[in-house]
C-alpha cells in the first residue's frame, strides 16, 4: 500500500469511528450545555435505540432472558432499516420527553453530583432490564441488504459500504440539528438560554418547553446513533455504558453545548484512535485520554466551547 493510500485509509477509518461518537455526543452536549444537566443515562438511550432498531429491522431469536421464558423466542418486525431510522428516533424522542419531565426537571437545581448519581443509577437500571428481558447474550445486528457490500474507492481501494453510509447519515443529521439550533426561533431561545437562562426568563420567555424539546432532540439523536451504529458491533446490554465514556470525551474536547465542537471532538478522537492503531497500537486506548488531557490543560472550556456568563 502506498503512503498516500495508507494516510487516506486511516483518515477515512478515523472519520467513520468518530461519526458514531459525534451522533451520541451532540445530544449529550446540547443537554449539558442548555439544561446544565449531566446525563449519564445518555448511553442507555443509545442502548434503547439499538435494541429498538434490532427489533424493527430484523427478526431475532431470543434464547435467553424473560422473553424466552415467556415463549417469545423469535421476535422482531422485519420492517427493514429505513422504517427503523424514522421510528426509532421518534420512540427515543418520547422516552427523552418522559425523562426530562420526570427525571431531569426535579434535579435541575440540584448539584452535579446528585444528577450524576441519579442518571448513572438509571443507566444501570435500564441495562439490567434489558439483560433480564433479552438475556446477556450478544446479538448479530445485520447491516441493511442495500449497504452490506464493499465499494471500490479511489486511492483507498475496498471500503465497507455501510461505514460510508454512517459518515453520510451523520453529516445529514449534523446539518439538520445545526440548522435547527442556528436558524430557528426555537434555536435562538435555546442558544440564549445556554448563555444566560436568567436573562431569557426575565424577557418573559418560559424556558420549560424549549428545555423539554432539547432533551427530546438529544435523546432522539442517541436513538439514531443506536440504529446506525448497531450493525457495527455485536449488540448486548453493555453497549450503552461502553459508548458513554468516549462520547463524554468528545464533549469535553469539543466544548460543552457546541455542535461544531462535538463534530470536531468526534473527528479528533476517531482520527487519534485510527492513527495510533496504525503507528503504535498498544497506545490506542490511552491516546484519547491523553488528547482530552492536553485539550483541557490548554483550553479548559474545550476547543469550541464558550465561557459561561457567571451571575
The residues binding other proteins (CB under 8 A) are 1, 9-10, 13-14, 16-17, 61, 63-64, 135-140, 142-143, 149-150, 157-160, 162-163, 232-234, 236, 238, 242, 273-274, 277-278, 281-282, 284-285
Residue placing its CB nearer to other proteins in the complex, 127 or 194:
127
Residue placing its CB nearer to other proteins in the complex, 165 or 211:
165
Report the nearest approach of other proteins to the CB of residue 244 (Å).
13
Residue placing its CB nearer to other proteins in the complex, 135 or 210:
135
Residue placing its CB nearer to other proteins in the complex, 247 or 258:
247
Residue placing its CB nearer to other proteins in the complex, 138 or 208:
138
Residue placing its CB nearer to other proteins in the complex, 214 or 235:
235
Report the nearest approach of other proteins to the CB of residue 240 (Å).
13
Report the nearest approach of other proteins to the CB of residue 249 (Å).
15
Give the DSSP letter string of the chain: --HHHHHHHHHHHHHHHHHHHHHHHHHHHHHHHHH----TTHHHHHHHHHHHHHHHH--EE--SHHHHHTT--EE-----HHHHHHHHHHHHHHHHHHHIIIIIGGGTTS-HHHHHHHHHHHHHHHHHHHHHHH-S--B--PPPGGG-SEEEETTTEEEEHHHHHHHHHHHHHHHHHHHHHHHSHHHHHHHHHHHHHHHHHHTT---HHHHHHHHHHHHHHHHHHHHHHGGGS-B-TTHHHHHHHHHHHHHHHH-TT-HHHHHHHHHHHHHHHHHHHHH-GGGHHHHHHHHHHHHHHH-TT-SS--PPPP-
Report the nearest approach of other proteins to the CB of residue 210 (Å).
35
Amino acid at each position: 500500500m502506498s503512503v498516500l493510500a495508507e494516510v487516506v485509509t486511516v483518515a477515512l477509518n478515523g472519520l467513520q469511528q468518530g461519526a458514531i461518537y459525534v451522533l451520541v455526543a451532540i445530544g449529550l452536549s446540547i443537554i449539558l450545555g442548555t439544561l446544565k444537566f449531566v446525563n449519564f443515562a445518555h448511553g442507555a438511550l443509545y442502548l434503547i435505540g439499538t435494541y429498538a432498531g434490532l427489533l424493527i429491522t430484523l427478526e431475532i431469536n431470543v434464547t435467553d432472558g424473560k422473553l424466552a421464558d415467556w415463549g417469545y423466542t423469535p421476535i422482531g418486525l422485519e420492517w427493514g432499516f429505513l422504517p427503523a431510522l424514522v421510528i426509532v428516533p421518534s420512540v427515543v424522542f418520547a422516552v427523552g420527553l418522559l425523562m426530562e419531565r420526570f427525571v431531569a426537571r426535579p434535579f435541575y437545581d440540584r448539584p452535579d453530583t446528585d444528577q450524576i448519581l441519579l442518571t448513572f443509577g438509571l443507566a444501570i437500571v435500564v441495562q439490567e432490564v434489558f439483560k433480564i428481558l433479552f438475556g446477556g447474550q450478544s446479538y448479530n445486528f445485520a447491516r441493511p441488504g442495500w449497504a452490506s457490500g464493499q465499494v471500490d474507492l479511489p486511492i483507498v481501494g475496498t471500503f465497507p459500504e455501510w461505514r460510508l453510509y454512517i459518515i453520510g447519515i451523520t453529516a445529514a443529521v449534523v446539518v439538520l440539528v445545526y440548522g435547527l439550533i442556528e436558524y430557528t426561533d426555537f434555536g435562538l431561545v435555546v442558544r440564549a438560554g445556554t448563555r444566560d437562562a436568567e436573562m431569557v426568563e426575565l424577557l418573559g420567555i418560559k424556558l420549560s418547553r424549549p428545555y423539554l424539546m432539547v432533551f427530546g432532540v438529544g435523546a432522539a439523536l442517541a436513538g439514531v446513533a443506536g440504529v446506525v451504529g448497531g450493525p457495527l458491533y455485536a449488540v448486548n446490554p453493555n453497549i450503552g455504558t461502553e459508548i458513554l465514556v468516549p462520547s463524554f470525551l468528545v464533549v469535553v474536547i469539543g466544548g460543552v453545548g457546541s455542535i461544531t465542537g462535538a463534530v470536531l471532538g468526534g473527528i479528533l478522537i476517531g482520527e487519534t484512535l485510527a492513527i495510533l492503531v496504525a503507528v503504535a497500537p498498544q497506545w490506542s486506548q490511552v491516546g484519547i485520554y491523553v488528547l482530552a488531557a492536553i485539550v483541557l490543560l490548554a483550553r479548559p472550556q474545550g476547543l469550541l466551547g464558550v465561557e459561561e456568563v457567571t451571575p
